[in-house]
Amino acid sequence: MLDNKGFDEWSKIYDEHVEEDKFPFIGYKKVLFSLLELVEPINDLKVLDVGIGTGGLAADLAKRGCLIYGIDFSAMMLKTAKTRIPNGNFNQVDVSKNYLGSFSNQKFDRIISSYFSHHLNTNQKIDFIQKAINQNLSIGGKIIIADIAFYSKNDFKNGQNIFSSSWDQDEYYLCYKTFSKLLNQEGINSKYNQISDCAGIMIIDKIYQGKSIKEYQASYNNPIKVIKGTKLNTTKKESEWPGWIWCTDSNNYEGWIPERYLQIENDMAISLRAYNAKELTITINEILHIYDEECGWFWCKNKNDEYGWIPKENIELKI
């Protein structure tokens, strides 16, 4: 396993090295593209890239409007990343020793890493994830980790045999089924996608609980629902909550959509991510799970597994 000086040297050829499509970088581009799609980049989404390296992925996110924060223990890796993301925020720090350094008290919408977590042993991985969930994830935030990984013990053993000549015994590759059980013991739920023969992506959401302190009646019977890339008409319409745009789709379904979810030109727009404008009717003292927050509203689920938006002012968060 390389130290920070070794990574400083590697930074000179890193981008060429990962293009070779050999273990551990088989399917590297596909893995990073999959991670980017899972981030669901939109304007002003605050993203922390842990082990940012030369900043290739983060630069793509910055082009899509994300606010980039990057940490790495290699000064030369960060130097390259800074040239790619001039408006980024960077911090040289060893996560295994100093967590997020000067970013440790900030909140982020996404905490991501690519080909980094194998430098942390199992206990360090769990400690990092727990801290990130408890200290640094915003409401609706996600941790998305892409790395050398295998779904099951059998997959792991097969990988060990197939890639034996390049397998680094000093690194900590992930067996998802084993690791997810350890996360479950800590009350942390996760999902996993195997992307290539030797890499996968683990996704962890932070879900808050809340209690309704005021009734709310849903306003629209047939609200608009869009997928990424939906073409929309926009209308200037007053709202007591800034940041929302009134939209109509080709089937004349209407509703409010967050402005930062849209690419707008004149009175037309294209949705940058999937979105459902459904609101949720509630009574006082309902217990709710809160999955997202946007411009004065929470996206919630009630005890009947019904989802919808509710004004933040109607809900008391349970921290």
**pLDDT 10s digits, 242-277:** 999 999 999 999 999 999 999 999 999 999 999 999
Q: Burial-class residue 296 by CB neighbours within 10 Å (0-12, 13-18, 19+).
A: middle
- Give residue 20's pLDDT band: very low, low, confident or very high (50, 70, 90): confident
- Give residue 11's pLDDT band: very low, low, confident or very high (50, 70, 90): low
Give the domain-ending residue among 162, 185, 206: 206
Q: Is the pTM of this model over 0.85?
A: yes
Rounded CA separation 248/48 (Å): 34
pLDDT tens figures, 147-162: 999 999 999 999 999 9
Asked if residue 174 and residue 216 are part of one domain, the reply reads no
Asked if residue 175 and residue 257 are part of one domain, the reply reads no
**Phi and psi, residue 167, nearest 5°:** -65, 125
Closest CA to 45 of 66, 62, 69: 66
174-175 and 287-294 beta bridge pairing: unpaired
| CATH, residue 47 | 3.40.50.150
Give the pLDDT mean for 33-46.
96
Helix (H) or strand (E) holding 232: strand 231-235
Paired tokens of 96: 């295994």
pLDDT tens figures, 89-107: 999 999 999 999 999 999 9
Residue 3, pLDDT score: 62
Residue 37, pLDDT score: 96
Give the domain-ending residue among 149, 180, 206: 206
Indicate the number of domains in the chain: 2
pLDDT tens figures, 191-235: 999 999 999 999 999 889 999 999 999 998 899 999 999 999 999
Asked if residue 62 and residue 12 are part of one domain, the reply reads yes
Asked if residue 217 and residue 202 are part of one domain, the reply reads no
Contact 283, 215 (CB under 8 A): yes
Residue 175, pLDDT score: 98
> Which residues are paired to 212 by β-bridges?
315
Which positions ≥6 away from 236 have C-beta within 8 Å? 246
Asked if residue 219 and residue 198 are part of one domain, the reply reads no
Residue 310, pLDDT score: 98
Amino acid occupying residue 167: W
Residue 64, pLDDT score: 95
Residue 1, pLDDT score: 59
- pLDDT of residue 67 exceeding 90, the answer is yes
pLDDT tens figures, 232-245: 999 988 888 999 99
3-class SS at 242?
coil
Q: Which residues of 243-278 are buried (b: 16+ CB within 10 A; e: fewer)?
A: ebbbbebeeebbbbbbbbbbbeeeeebebbbebebb
Residue 318, pLDDT score: 85
Give the domain-ending residue among 183, 206, 229: 206
Q: What is the CA radius of gyration of the chain?
A: 21
Asked if residue 78 and residue 200 are part of one domain, the reply reads yes
| CATH, residue 254 | 2.30.30.40
Contact 282, 314 (CB under 8 A): yes
Asked if residue 200 and residue 270 are part of one domain, the reply reads no
Q: Which domain holds residue 76?
A: 4-206
> Which residues are paired to 225 by β-bridges?
276
Rounded CA separation 232/246 (Å): 10
Give the pLDDT mean for 277-282.
97
Asked if residue 262 and residue 182 are part of one domain, the reply reads no
Paired tokens of 86: 């001039």
Asked if residue 260 and residue 187 are part of one domain, the reply reads no
Asked if residue 265 and residue 173 are part of one domain, the reply reads no
Residue 220, pLDDT score: 87
* End-to-end C-alpha distance for the chain, whole angstroms: 39
Residue 319, pLDDT score: 66
Contact 96, 118 (CB under 8 A): no
Asked if residue 278 and residue 242 are part of one domain, the reply reads yes
Average pLDDT across the chain, whole number: 94
- Give residue 19's pLDDT band: very low, low, confident or very high (50, 70, 90): confident
> Which residues are paired to 270 by β-bridges?
231, 263
Asked if residue 197 and residue 231 are part of one domain, the reply reads no
